[in-house]
Amino acid sequence: MSQRAVPGFRVRRSGPLALLQDAGRFGVRHLGVTQGGPADLHGWAWANRLAGNPWGTTALEITFGGIELVAERELTLAVAGADLGATLDGETLPGWQSVAIREGQVLTFTQPVNGLRAYLAVAGGFSAEPVLGSVAGVVREGLGGHDGLGHTLAEGDLLRVGEGGGRGGDVRSAPTTERPDYRQAARLALLPGAQIGDFTGRSLFDAFNAVWRVDDRADRMGVRLTGPRLQCRIESLISEGIGLGAVQVPPDGQPIVLLNDRQTIGGYPRLGALTPLAASRLAQCLPGQEVRLAPVARERALADYRRFRAVFA
């Protein structure tokens, strides 16, 4: 942990899942260690930019809400991603813009209004000891987070911030075009994978024309989709590396989209993989929401991602 870190927030009430997330843990998958990082890259990146932080700065990912934080000092912060009914001293806290708060003020996230995961960034970033090169909190692996052990925030925990980060950057508000309405049906771009030709013709038609629903079996590891049963001619497959957004199809024919805390290898055939921004969009979907899968060419997907990253260069 940086010696220049100072108290930022005290947790007065904890929610179901709140974790510190930087850009993720890379270069260690050969050890069986997963990526971690923000489930919604878009919301995380905008929260940091509005707080005046560079790419990779640690922010707090809050899932569902139910958390209450007390400011230990003056701070400049920004909340992006989902609307979890955030308030500051009981008054609505505007999202997607930078806000200055005073010592002693109480920041509360209640419950989902629009989306599932909100990102709280502070000028200077949250500070914690990196584990295997990253602060990203992964509960399943017991790595990272505010205590280095992957624990979610609990009542009484102290969040530290970078000293001297009291002021934000020049960008004070995100354009309306960058503020998704997560309640709308999502169209998820998918890069076709190596096994896509082994699915039956009917299954491929259904995969890209049917409406899928987000199952209640969803977390940071993956999201199960329910809809028509997909069939693959492959009966067995040697396990291979699994990337972000991989769409596996187990024997029951219901796709599972793997997210940030996924396993590092898998043996189910795959339709392909969602693009990083499509995986981010899926991570904001509540159970029961409708989504559609849309095939996309590699060149188009790469151009879209480069355009997104250029905003935060």
Q: What is the pLDDT of residue 203?
A: 98
The pLDDT of residue 165 is above 60: no
Region 237-242 average pLDDT: 93
User: What is the tens place of the pLDDT at every residue in 92-133?
Assistant: 999 999 999 999 999 999 999 999 999 999 999 999 999 999
H helix count then E strand count, the chain:
4, 21
Could you read off the pLDDT of 32-85 as tens digits, one per residue? 999 999 999 999 999 999 999 999 999 999 999 999 999 999 999 999 999 999
pTM of this structure? 0.96
Q: Measured between alpha carbons, how far is residue 34 from residues 25, 136, 263, 284 in Å?
A: 7, 10, 6, 20
pLDDT band at 235 (very low <50, low <70, confident <90, very high): confident
Q: Which of 41-55, 167-181, 192-206, 249-263 has the lowest mean pLDDT?
A: 167-181
> Ramachandran region of residue 36, left (φ > 0), alpha (ψ -120 to 50) or beta?
left
Q: What is the mean pLDDT of the chain?
A: 95
Give residue 2's pLDDT band: very low, low, confident or very high (50, 70, 90): very low
